[in-house]
Structure 1
Amino acid sequence: MSGIARILVIAGSDSGGGAGIQADIRTITTLGGHAMTAITAITAQNTLGVQGVHPVPVDMVLAQIDSVVADIGVDAVKIGMIGSAETAQAVAARLEAMEKIPIVFDPVMVATSGSVLADADTIAGFEQLMRLATVVTPNIPELAALGGDVIATLHGCAVLAKGGHGAGDVLVDRLFDTGGEIARWEGKRIDTLHTHGTGCTLASAIAVGLGQGMMLTDSIVRARQYVRAALLAAPGLGHGRGPMGVPRDA
């Protein structure tokens, strides 16, 4: 590994800067990594919702991956919004051919605003990516759509089931793999409207940790702390679900 963790992010662009590639770069940089990107889609998006999505052609997504891999190298990969079933399949084939590296897959289906970002065919294409992933990070609705807790057994990956969509003041995140539950974390819900980009940020923070040589559980602990601090640092932008901030002590 180089002196700085090289993190390749394969995800969509958020024009409002709260989630997607923009949140990924911010998180990776803040935590001491070097962010590289393969943009899968361009979105017209703000705190109120997604007004438009333009998928990037598959060959261009692959060209971005090949470009950075050939020259700079990669210590970990974070996958977010994938854009299409064809892109999912092509990216999976590229990653499978690479030297085995940690992969964090955030199976983005719906934006914080409620806008749909993956159709049924794209979700079906997630299976190949889950088989390659070190850890998959679905929220409660995404976990249900992917088949529930059995996805760890079906695809041989660890799963961090995020509890942010659950009811109550205490949130529970569960980490499990084919052998069952490994760890769980509880935390008091932070009362804020500005939660746009939480999933992207958490997954990128975990990827940085893995790229820096941290164990998975340690990476998750730091990532959860970072997200909670970022929620508290939200600048209050926009008229809807605004972006998080950058923790001062990160």
Structure 2
Amino acid sequence: MQQAQQLGPETVSPDRAGEQAAERAAGSVARAVPRVLSIAGTDPTGGAGIQADLKSIAAHGGYGMAVVTALVAQNTCGVRSVHTPPADFLREQLQAVSDDVVIDAVKIGMLGDAVVVQVVKEWLEQVRPPVVVLDPVMVATSNDRLLRPEAEDALRGLLPLVHLVTPNLPELAVLLDAPVAADWAQALAQGRELSRRYGLKVLVKGGHLQGADSPDALVDAAAGPGQDLLELFSHRVDTANTHGTGCSLSAAMATVQARTLDWPESLRRVKHWLTGALERSDELEVGRGHGPIHHFHHLQPASGQAFSSRLWGLTAGVREAIMALPFIQELSAGTLDEDDFGYYLAQDARYLNGYSRVLARASALAPTEAEQLFWAKGAHQCLEVEAELHRSWLSGRGVSGEFGPVTKQYVDHLQAIAGGGSYGELVAAVIPCYWLYAHVGEQLSAQHSGGPADGHPYGAWLRTYADEAFAEASRQAVAIMDAAAAAESEAGRLRMRTAFEQSCRYELDFFDAPRVYARSRVQGG
């Protein structure tokens, strides 16, 4: 049997040492192929630990390296045993890598005890990588604590050397020595406190919460107002294949950040990738327990599913939330406060004015004459047909026509894409206004078989959006989006998906804005 050899450190030439120092000093330079080091434990089945990290790094265009902190006998059903190599060997692994390779980003995962944490801390203080992401493996799925108290304290001491920490909610609570957050608002508050206390960015993850949405947020207490929080929402994927999700997310964040130098943009890219990796995890058929995610789903097109079908599935939670809003329910019943409906129509009139300009831009970018005519007709409809309904109802009622905050944000979002996005991205951004309104009209029409009763105060509005011509226009718009997606690269389709999901969230907020307005009116009155 060949025995392990204990070797002395390789000598680095003075010239090479100078090159490394210069490259580290230029650590703020984005890298097309970042050199990313994973410091973590192993998983023989490949779904978690350094095996998952290396997949995530490769999936995002990085060159992956790995230093082993623990050898773990585990599979998709659970952990059987853990062997921790001597701390001196960990130190030698770390030194061997950094003596030879300039490291653009580091992802840190499982650190089994206080001694291991101290070795990693000393190495970080020496090397100072430009991107350091810590996934604090502290709490098992069973909610059992994985680290002794002294190791937890040592891990907190590592935080000042970290740029981003990615705890789940139980781990976030342990880091703060606080109860586990019961809802998203408490989770965000804990994220802000951890960010403030240790001077780092915190990725707050809502995977442990209940509900149709799966929120994530990037929190930076040191940033200025309006820049300290980025919230992203996606639908919650119904799958048991979640093994290694935290490992994969943090390794992906380290890699993408080294490429973009933009934490919010990195989170946007990684969140969409991770959602897709969960959605298509069943294709792998690995293990009998909690299987792994599909790290390379974006390189293997899903069979037989249209782009629009995938997006429609992603927004099931948003559609359910819209139909459950008091505004929609009261509108259907005819009990909606007239002032609230007036506010809604006034904001919709403002929105349609901006939306018509965005549709005109889509017409200008369209690759075919048929699509040019379709978008031009849509722009005309906004100004001449639908807006007339608004003017007729609002006439003489004295409703304020100023931009509400949600309306302005939504229009700004569309106009930003119209000014700098691709045709496909712009189409994806404008589709929710068609598609979700048609869906709401269809659902409300089903509640009023044969149309709203005579005397229904909002019958004209209900009939407008349940109109078959509008539904057909929505179907045409969706078909155009599918054609645009087919012409895009994978990166382009990812941008289309981002634009679509953001617009869907704005649609939900737009329908809910009258309730917010009513509350402020009561408080102000």
* TM exceeding 0.5: yes
Give the residue type in structure 2 aligned to 1:167: Q
The answer for the alignment partner of 1:225 in structure 2 is 272
Contact 1:171–1:188 (8 Å) recurs in 2: yes
The residue correspondences of 1:58-77 to structure 2 (distance < 5 A) are 58-77=87-106
Of the three residues 290, 293, 296, the one matched with 1:247 is 296
1 CA distance for matches of 2:291 and 2:141?
10
Matched, 1:163 2:206: yes
Among candidates 164, 175, 194, match of residue 146 of structure 1: 175
Instruction: Report how far residue 50 of structure 1 moved.
Output: 0.5
Structure-1 residue corresponding to 2:151: 122
Identify which range, 68-77 or 105-114, moves more after superposition: 105-114
Deviation of 1:213 (Å): 3.8
Normalising by structure 2, report the TM-score: 0.46
The CA deviation string for residues 51-101 of structure 1, in whole angstroms up to 9 with x for no partner, is: 101112211111111111111220010001111111112211110121441
Do the aligned residues in 2 keep the contact of 1:48 with 1:113 (CA within 8 Å)? no
How far apart in 1 are the matches of 2:260 and 2:128? 16
Pick closer, same or farther for the CA change 1:39–1:71 going to 2, 3 Å: same
**Which structure has the highest helix share of the two?**
2
Structure with more contact order per residue of length (Cα contacts < 8 Å, sep ≥ 6):
1
CA distance in 1, matches of 2:57, 2:144: 25
Are 1:7 and 2:36 an aligned pair? yes
3-state SS of 1:52 partner: strand
CA contact (8 A) 2:143 2:170 kept: no
Runs of 4+ residues over 6 Å off in structure 1: none
* Amino acid paired to 1:185: L
State the secondary structure of the residue aligned to 2:297. coil
Per-residue deviation, 1:165? 0.5
Q: Which amino acid aligns with 1:177?
A: D
Could you list the runs of 5+ residues in structure 2 that have no partner in the other structure?
Answer: 1-22, 24-30, 177-189, 300-525
Q: Residue 261 of structure 2 aligns with which residue?
A: 214
Percent sequence identity is 39
Q: Following the alignment from structure 2 to structure 1, what is the Cα–Cα distance between the partners of residues 94 and 211?
A: 41
Could you say which residue in structure 1 is the equivalent of 2:163? 134
Code of the residue aligned with 2:168 in structure 1: it is N
Higher mean C-alpha displacement, 140-149 vs 112-121: 112-121
Give the whole-Å Cα distance in 1 for the aligned partners of 2:251 and 2:213: 23
CA shift for structure 1 position 191: 0.0
Q: CA deviation at 1:179?
A: 3.6
The corresponding residue for 1:188 is: 235
Distance 1:237 1:79 in 2: 25
Check the 8 A contact 1:88/1:126 in 2, yes or no.
Answer: yes
Distance 2:143 2:84 in 1: 19
* Amino acid corresponding to residue 184 of structure 1 in structure 2: E
Moved more, 197-206 or 163-172: 163-172
Alignment of 1:39-78 (within 5 A): 39-78=68-107
Tell me the C-alpha RMSD between the 2 structures. 1.8
Distance in 2 (CA, whole Å) between partners of 1:110 and 1:47 is 17
Question: Secondary structure of the equivalent of 2:80?
Answer: strand
**In the aligned structure 2, how far is the partner of 1:248 from the partner of 1:172?**
21
How far residue 114 of structure 1 moved from its aligned partner, in angstroms, is 5.8
State the distance in 2 between where 1:144 and 1:58 align: 28
- Report SS of the residue matched to 1:249: helix
Partners of 1:11 and 1:42 lie apart in 2 by 9
Q: Which protein is bigger by CA-based radius of gyration?
A: 2
In 2, the alpha carbon distance for the partners of 1:110 and 1:236 equals 27
Structure 1, 15-24 or 116-125: larger mean CA deviation: 116-125
Q: How far apart, CA to CA, are the structure 1 residues paired with 2:160 and 2:270?
A: 23
SS across alignment from 1:240 = coil
In 2, distance between residues paired with 1:20 and 1:4?
22
115-124 or 17-26, larger mean C-alpha shift: 115-124
**Cα 1:236–1:190 shift into 2, 3 Å:** same
Consecutive unaligned residues of structure 1, counting only runs of 5 or more, are none
Residue 193 (structure 1) shift = 0.3
Moved more, 47-56 or 212-221: 212-221
Does the C-alpha gap of structure 1 residues 117 and 14 become closer, same or farther in structure 2, counting only changes over 3 Å?
A: farther
What is the aligned residue count? 250
Q: Which has the higher strand share?
A: 1
Determine helix, strand or coil for the equivalent of 1:212: helix
**Change over 3 Å in CA distance of 1:218–1:204 after alignment to 2:** same
Q: Secondary structure at the match of 2:298?
A: coil
TM-score (norm 1): 0.93
Give the distance between the partners of 1:8 and 1:32, measured in 2 at CA: 13
Q: Is residue 233–residue 247 contact of structure 1 (8 Å, CA) maintained in 2?
A: no
Give the whole-Å Cα distance in 1 for the aligned partners of 2:74 and 2:148. 18
